[in-house]
Amino acid sequence: MTKHWLKSYPDGIPHHIDPEQFQSLNELLESSFKKNASKPFSVCMDSWMSYAQLDDLSFALGAWLQNLGLEPGARVAIMLPNVPQFAVTMAAVLRAGYTCVNVNPLYTARELEHQLKDSGATTLVILENFAATLAEVIDRTPVKNVVITSLGDLLGFWYGRWMTFAVRHLAKLVPPYKLPLGNGYRITTFAHAITEGGRLTLRPAHCTLDSVAFLQYTGGTTGLSKGAVLTHRNIVAAILQAEAWFKPALERVGDISKTNNIAALPLYHIFALTLCLLAIRWGAHLTLVPNPRDFGKFIEVLKKRPFHMLPAVNTLFNALLQHPQFRTVDFSGLCVSQAGGMAASAGTAQQWLKVTGCNMIEGWGMSETCAIGTNNPVTSKAFSGSIGLPLPSIDIHIKDDEGNSLPLGSPGEICIRGPQVMAGYYQQPEENERAFTLDGFMRTGDIGIMDQHGYTTIIDRKKDMIIVSGFNVFPNELENVISLCPGVVECAAIGIADEKQGEAIKVFVVKNDPTLSEDDLAAYCKQHLTGYKRPKYIEFRDDLPKTNVGKILRRELRATA
């Protein structure tokens, strides 16, 4: 099958990228640290960090980690929100020759225990706010070394101390905890580790492109999460693919290193993580938003200085649009509004363009593909409703259950092959056998259709399909249509058991117009959806259950229904 989508590439986009130009991800990072030493890397609560500081701090922490005597490739877990310590720790772990295991800071004790045990992590860097969760399970995990940081550790001497005091004693956001000392356990503060490491020398790690850089856990919404093994090659390829794709949108900035990239999505999530590494590649800077759910403060951050890239999931775009202060933001510098992580809705996209003047660009990827797969051209002037074209060096085939490639226009499973696709799931040979086809494509579980121009449209996940009287109904289609109904903020559709139809459709709706009734919405659906696609049940709610990165949890809605 020829890559017919290449004919749809905008001018100047290469067809291929070459990760072999770097010996490892570490080489890419260290090259940027030296080249951009005097430039800002991040700003968090008005405290700035330069690339030189990132270099020095990660050098020191990496040396301290090596001094623990960990074996090459040892797994080091990182349980941090979007604070400066995240990038320092990530770079330190990689430069020391170890593997990063990103952990959701809001995990329950059960979820944390599973990930630490499954990954075999013996060392953990954690914000003190979440140490009480660790204390519940640490004796049932391999973790022996714990580095505890406080919110203010890298926010300047006086301001940092004030923030730590406020978080601990005024907001009371640090629950009491007791971690074991002795008996093989080592508990250290972040500041102490940096100080001690500053007296040591970071030894060369001798990583290659085939070394493991990250265990990125995924699949937690459908069962026990699995660690996607992402090599240095995978990550370098993803950075270069993203760089090739996004550059045309940022030409009007001039010097790409001057771009301000908003990091509101959690950096432990693959979407934000890859864009963080892209910013490092460019020598650009990140505006870190530790708590994007505080929309008032988030919007105040957006108003402080021009910003150029804003990646978000549909629910975050939507929530910003609903805030009365959002329209007071200056959007003149905004070049890329990148949607991913979940399906973007046409209703949100239309409103976003109207308010910001910047078209929402939808893309698609997975933890298993370093968040890189397909994307609409960043120069697009209108929302397409598709997930776009395969990025450079990527093959996308639509396949049937037997692994056969289907003709264009036929619905089937989206399967992907490329240098950014994971090596496999960590210690999951049976899962790996199911995950890949005989010709090397990874099965994604997404059902889609590719057109003659190479654009793919996702119909839905296999497991989310609703069967009404023998007809296949895909929730994404319903949600996209219903989201355009005036007064609807967001919605989710599920199938529930029905004696007559097998399954009936139920939609859960959050509205911002109190006069919108079930009858109004039913009439709208009658106008826009064929009979078997119309919801039989409509339920209004104040909010919908979501993961920490904003994906709506249909599974929880099914359980309550």
pLDDT at 3: 95
What's the whole-number mean pLDDT along residues 262-280? 96
Q: What are phi and psi of 509, to 5 degrees?
A: -130, 135
Q: What are phi and psi of 480, to 5 degrees?
A: -65, -40
Exposed, middle or buried, 525 (CB in 10 Å: 0-12/13-18/19+)?
buried
CA atoms 121, 122, 123, 126: torsion sign? positive
Separation of alpha carbons 105 and 131, rounded Å: 10
Strands across the sheet containing 374-375: 47-50, 40-44, 285-288, 260-263, 309-312, 336-339, 360-364, 374-375, 389-390
In the block, tokens 């968040």 appear at 371
pLDDT at 110: 85
> Any idea which of 133-142, 416-425, 461-470, 513-522 has the lowest mean pLDDT?
461-470
pLDDT at 197: 98
pLDDT at 467: 83
* β-bridge mates for residue 537, sequence order: 506
CATH number, domain 465-560: 3.30.300.30
- Mean pLDDT, the chain, whole residue set: 94
Indicate the DSSP class of residue 182: B
Query: Which are the contacts of 90, defined by CB distance < 8 A and separation ≥ 6?
Result: 78, 100, 267
What's the whole-number mean pLDDT along residues 12-23? 97
* β-bridge mates for residue 124, sequence order: 77, 146
**Amino acid making up residue 397:** H
Percent of residues, the chain, with pLDDT higher than 70: 99
What angle is formed at CA 95 by the lines to CA 89 and CA 97, rounded to 5 degrees?
Answer: 105
Separation of alpha carbons 502 and 518, rounded Å: 23
Token couple for 114:
């599973």
4-18+230-423+432-460 matches 46-207 in fold: yes
Compute, in degrees rounded to 10, the torsion defined by CA atoms 245, 249, 253, 257: -20
**Amino acid making up residue 556:** E
Exposed, middle or buried, 198 (CB in 10 Å: 0-12/13-18/19+)?
middle
CA atoms 159, 45, 49, 122: torsion sign? positive
Token couple for 38:
């005097």
Q: What is the pLDDT of residues 114-140, one digit of tens each?
A: 999 999 999 999 999 999 999 999 999
Separation of alpha carbons 306 and 297, rounded Å: 16
Residue pair 508/488 in contact (Cβ under 8 Å)? The answer is: no
Output b/e per residue, 370-389; b: 16+ Cβ within 10 A: bbbbbbbbbebeebbbbbbb
Q: What are phi and psi of 162, to 5 degrees?
A: -65, -45
Question: Would you tell me how many other CB atoms lie within 10 Å of the CB of residue 390?
Answer: 27
Task: Spell out the CATH class of 46-207.
Answer: alpha beta
The helix-helix angle for 51-67 and 84-95 (nearest 10°) equals: 50
Indicate the DSSP class of residue 85: H
Indicate the DSSP class of residue 168: I
pLDDT at 219: 67
**Amino acid making up residue 536:** K
Residue pair 475/461 in contact (Cβ under 8 Å)? The answer is: no
Q: What is the pLDDT of residues 144-192, one digit of tens each?
A: 999 999 999 999 999 999 999 999 999 999 999 999 988 899 999 999 9
> Any idea which of 375-379, 469-473, 491-495 has the lowest mean pLDDT?
469-473
Q: Which long-range contacts (CB under 8 A, 24 or more apart) does 161-170 make?
A: 163/45, 167/129, 168/128
Largest CA-CA distance found in the chain, in angstroms, rounded = 74
DSSP E strands in 186-282: the ranges are 186-189, 212-218, 226-231, 260-263
What angle is formed at CA 65 by the lines to CA 64 and CA 67, rounded to 5 degrees?
Answer: 65
The domain covering 4-18+230-423+432-460 belongs, at the CATH homologous superfamily level, to ANL, N-terminal domain (3.40.50.12780)
Closest CA to 24 of 213, 202, 201, 203: 213
| pLDDT higher than 80, residue 335 | yes
Cα atoms found within 13 Å of the Cα of residue 299, Cβ hemisphere only? 17
| Residue 1 pLDDT level (bands cut at 50, 70, 90) | low
Residue pair 477/459 in contact (Cβ under 8 Å)? The answer is: yes
Measured in whole angstroms, how far is the alpha carbon of residue 195 from the centre of its chain? 32
Question: What's the predicted TM-score (pTM) here?
Answer: 0.89
Indicate the DSSP class of residue 406: P
Q: What is the pLDDT of residues 214-259, one digit of tens each?
A: 999 986 444 568 999 999 999 999 999 999 999 999 989 999 999 9
**Amino acid making up residue 132:** A
Percent of residues, the chain, with pLDDT higher than 90: 85
pLDDT at 108: 87
Domain positions in the chain: 4-18+230-423+432-460, 46-207, 465-560
Cα atoms found within 13 Å of the Cα of residue 553, Cβ hemisphere only? 18
Exposed, middle or buried, 560 (CB in 10 Å: 0-12/13-18/19+)?
exposed
Between strands 123-127 and 145-149, the pairing is: parallel
Q: Which residue has the higher pLDDT, 145 or 346?
A: 145
